[in-house]
Amino acid sequence: MEESELLRDEDYHALFENLPYPVIIRHLELGRYVFVNQAFERAFGFPRAEILGRRPDELNLCASREIKERLVQKVQKGQARMGESVPVRTRDGRVIDCTLRASPVVLGDSILIVGILTEPSEIIARV
Per residue in 31-82, pLDDT (tens digit) is 899 999 999 999 999 999 999 999 988 988 888 888 877 877 776 676 666 6
| φ, ψ at 48 (rounded to 5°) | -50, -40
CATH number of 59's domain:
3.30.450.20
- Please give the DSSP secondary-structure letter assigned to residue 13: H
CA dist., res. 98 & res. 95, Å (int): 9
What's the domain range around 10? 3-126
Q: What is the pTM of this model?
A: 0.81
CA dist., res. 82 & res. 49, Å (int): 27
Q: How many domains does the chain have?
A: 1
Q: Where are the extended beta strands (E) located within the chain?
A: 23-27, 33-36, 81-89, 95-107, 110-118
CA dist., res. 109 & res. 77, Å (int): 18
